[in-house]
Amino acid sequence: MMAPREDTPPATAGAATGGAAATGPDAGPEVGPDASTGRRDGLRPPSWLAGSFLLPALVLLGFLVVYPIVYTVVRSLLDSSGGFTVDNYSGIFEGHSNLLAVRNTAIWVVVAPTLVTIVGLLFAVLTERIRWATAFKLVVFMPMAISFLASGVIFRLVYEQDPDKGVANAAVVAVHDAFSAKTAYPGAGPRAGAAQPLRAEGGAVVTSRPVTAGSTALLPLLRVKPEYLPAEPVPARAAAPPGPGRITGTVWFDFTRGGGGRPNAVDPSEAGLPGVRVQAVRDGKVVASATTRDDGTFTLTKVPAGPLTLRLPADNFTAAYGGAEWLGDTLITPAIIGAYLWVWSGFAMVLIAAGLAAIPRDALEAARVDGATEWQVFRRVTIPLLAPVLVVVLVTLVINVLKVFDLVFVIGGGDPNAGVLALQMWTESFGGGNDQGAGSAIAVLLFLLVLPAMLFNIRRLRRERK
């Protein structure tokens, strides 16, 4: 994973420095190894020199990283008047928005790294044999260079609720409408009152009196909104008398513009309603169905004898499907994780692809010669050999996910349903909360959560040194 290090200098620094102090401090950095100190000592620069090389880094790290860690730990245990308290910690798990942040952080840590690693692995494997793999990798890797703020703006646009504006819902609605019947007339219904030919039943509209095969039915609807009428309405027409075993009828908008129409009768200026689904029902079972034509007429065929009910099912009248509420209470965290996936998949893909390239071809060929299928080779040879890389990717992503702030801040727009600990820390200490004890406690909690990753890094380093 790291740069080659065959020539790592000896790690026994402590033992070697004893004799290295021969060159006095007055020698100055510009004075090289000279004859008086001898060749051997000349090759070992004095240790105070190392100090001067390290000084700027150590000063900055000390003042801006190490000291703040200590300060934050102490501050998290103090109340506003300086007394000792653990309330800052118990406070993390109290209150609606805090609990949501804890829950969401748990979701993030479990879901996001796993998802990103799986997607990265998939892409790395699929691109292995593709000629334009470099171009593909470049496209997927590109969001890594973009700020979370810009990605946030990008995904606010993608997740826009209105399917006419947000591309996500435009796609969802297009797919939905391709697979399910389109809503015809949201809000329309029968005339209110007793002794009407139609009545509402649940969301559907049914005939009040039984209908038998061979008869003609009139099904008048009201409250049809103008925007759902056909652009050029065809006048409704009374249906032709049916043959045996059939029912004909008309579904129309029983409303004459300017008044004067007769209720429940087809008047010349009244519009037929095309595309309404009509069902013949007996004992709750659909025995025949049809869809109305442009003039509102329909014909049900192969209708069994005996009394039936005609039903206009509810999906004729429910509101048009508007897509998912991406930024609503329940979907907002998954939606932001989706944006995170978009940003970070390239990272996982590139690391895993490098790991794949490093797997010796011999091992794979040997398995193939032994008669293993491609899947078996992948499952039993590739994945085990890739495991160290996958672990590094997962650990890196977990650390990163714990710190995710900008993306949630921008896409969530302050919605507590999107909140995570890293954002809550800022909100508590700076963004209006002004409670630095509470903020410090959250920061310490985040720090504790990355500690295992820190130990993992140190162990990895030690192992590689040996």
Partner 1 sequence: MTAQETARETAGGTAGDGSAGAPRRGVAARVVGRIGGGAVQAVLVLVALFWLVPTLGLLVASLRSNADNNSSGWWTVFTKPSQLTFSSYSALLDKPDFVDSFWNTVLITVPATVLVVLIASLAAYAFAWLEFPGRDWLFLVVVALLVVPVQVALVPVAKLYGRIEFGGFQMFGSITGVVLFHVAFGLPFAIFLLRNFFAAIPRDLLEAARMDGGSEWTIFRRVIFPLGGPAIASLGIFQFLWVWNDLLVSLVFADTDAQPMTKWLQSQMRQFTGNIDILAPGAFLSLIVPLAVFFAFQRYFVQGVLAGSVK
Which has the closest alpha carbon to 457: 395, 390, 398? 395
Which has the closest alpha carbon to 76: 90, 62, 64? 90
Stretch that binds partner 1, among 143-151, 198-206, 209-217, 293-301 (CB under 8 A): 143-151
Contacts of partner 1 in 350-389 (CB under 8 A): 350-351, 354, 368-369, 371, 374
CA dihedral for 429, 435, 436, 439, sign (positive or negative): negative
* CA atoms of 419 and 60, how far apart (whole Å): 32
Write down the least CB distance from residue 120 to partner 1, Å: 12
Q: Is 11 in the site for partner 1 (CB under 8 A)?
A: yes
Q: Is 178 in the site for partner 1 (CB under 8 A)?
A: no
Among 86, 106, 110, 167, binds partner 1 (CB under 8 A): 167
Q: How does DSSP assign 133-190, residue by residue?
A: HHHHHHHHHGGGGS-HHHHHHHHHHHT-SSTTT-HHHHHHHHHHHHHSPPP--TT-BP
Closer residue to partner 1, CB minimum distance, 68 or 241: 68
CA angle at residue 62 from 57 to 63, to 5 degrees? 110
Tokens of 219: 């099904």
Write down the least CB distance from residue 300 to partner 1, Å: 40
Contacts of partner 1 in 73-132 (CB under 8 A): 75, 123, 126-127, 129-131
Closer residue to partner 1, CB minimum distance, 86 or 458: 458
Residue 213 CA: distances (Å) to CA of 301, 303, 326, 356: 9, 6, 48, 70
The set of residues, in sequence order, having a beta carbon less than 8 Å from that of 403 and lying 6+ positions away, is 422, 446
Q: Is 143 in the site for partner 1 (CB under 8 A)?
A: yes
The count of chain residues that interact with partner 1, using the rule CB under 8 A, is: 119
DSSP-derived 3-state class of residue 105 = helix
Closer residue to partner 1, CB minimum distance, 148 or 185: 148
Contacts of partner 1 in 14-33 (CB under 8 A): 14, 16-17, 20, 29-33
The two beta strands, 216-221 and 247-253, are: parallel
Contacts of partner 1 in 31-70 (CB under 8 A): 31-34, 39, 42-45, 47, 49-51, 53-54, 56-58, 60-61, 63-69
Stretch that binds partner 1, among 185-193, 286-294, 312-320, 420-428 (CB under 8 A): 420-428
Closer residue to partner 1, CB minimum distance, 3 or 231: 3
Contacts of partner 1 in 282-341 (CB under 8 A): none
Closer residue to partner 1, CB minimum distance, 250 or 382: 382
Q: Is 138 in the site for partner 1 (CB under 8 A)?
A: yes
Contacts of partner 1 in 246-265 (CB under 8 A): none
Among 87, 379, 384, 430, binds partner 1 (CB under 8 A): 430
The residue to which tokens 């308290």 are assigned = 85
Closer residue to partner 1, CB minimum distance, 25 or 260: 25
Closer residue to partner 1, CB minimum distance, 247 or 444: 444
Among 140, 310, 324, 390, binds partner 1 (CB under 8 A): 140
Which 8-state DSSP code applies to residue 130?
Answer: -
Element housing 221 (H / E): strand 216-221
Q: Is residue 326 within 8 Å of residue 166, measured between CB atoms?
A: yes
* CA atoms of 124 and 339, how far apart (whole Å): 20
Among 110, 150, 305, 383, binds partner 1 (CB under 8 A): 150
